[in-house]
Amino acid sequence: MPSFAQYVSNGWVTSTGPLLLLHALPAAAAIPRPPIITTAACTVDYYPRLVELSSTIFRLCNDCASHEAESERGDAPSSIACCMAEPWCAGGEEQARAAVQGVIAETWKLLNREVCCSCAEHEESLTTMANLCLNLARVIHCIYQDGDGITTPTHRMKRMVKDLLFNPIL
């Protein structure tokens, strides 16, 4: 089992966030990126920080909503399971959930700061990418706030989707 820090630093890649954003903005390839980081053991391609931060929110919100179901099925450990395995998390699942919620809040602060910096540059492609990343994080946080709104949507979530699609804004 990875440490909590290792999980958070790698978990965002498995969140589907980068894939969704790649398909949402084909022009994302035009965004300037640092060179590829290469070591003897592996090659790591760099994602823009906006993608990383919004995808981290995606992963952690998903973990908070689906931890129990995934642990019952014996799936790979979630951020909550990794946190509970840490020596500093002696309070069990409740303390682990609080720690993960704290990381989500801190990631929101970083994402908002990054969006402000990107939009301040007034480059249209960066502003578009910043808004896409911000909106992805907003939607994901909303979908997962009352549990797993994708696989087991609540009545409230179904009503919100119907209101969004079928009720006009007055």
Residue-wise pLDDT tens digits, 67-81: 776 666 767 788 888
Q: What is the pLDDT of residue 105?
A: 95
Closest CA to 133 of 34, 47, 10, 35: 47
CATH number of the domain encompassing residue 139: 1.10.600.10
Contact 134, 115 (CB under 8 A): yes
Q: What is the pLDDT of residue 38?
A: 47
Give 15: exposed, middle or buried? Use CB within 10 Å, 0-12, 13-18, 19+. buried
Give 100: exposed, middle or buried? Use CB within 10 Å, 0-12, 13-18, 19+. buried
Q: What is the pLDDT of residue 42?
A: 45
Closest CA to 58 of 18, 7, 85: 18
Q: What is the pLDDT of residue 44?
A: 45
Q: What is the pLDDT of residue 107?
A: 95
Write the pLDDT tens digit of every residue in 32-81. 554 444 454 444 445 688 889 999 999 999 888 877 766 667 677 888 88
In the chain, the number of structural domains is 1
Sequence-distant (6+) residues with CB within 8 A of 161 are 153
**Domain ranges, residue 96:** 4-166
Q: What is the pLDDT of residue 128?
A: 79
Torsion sign over Cα 145, 151, 155, 158 = positive
Sequence-distant (6+) residues with CB within 8 A of 151 are 66
Q: Which residues of the chain have pLDDT under 50?
A: 27-29, 34-38, 40-45
CA–CA dist 47, 70 (Å, integer)? 28
Q: What is the pLDDT of residue 32?
A: 52
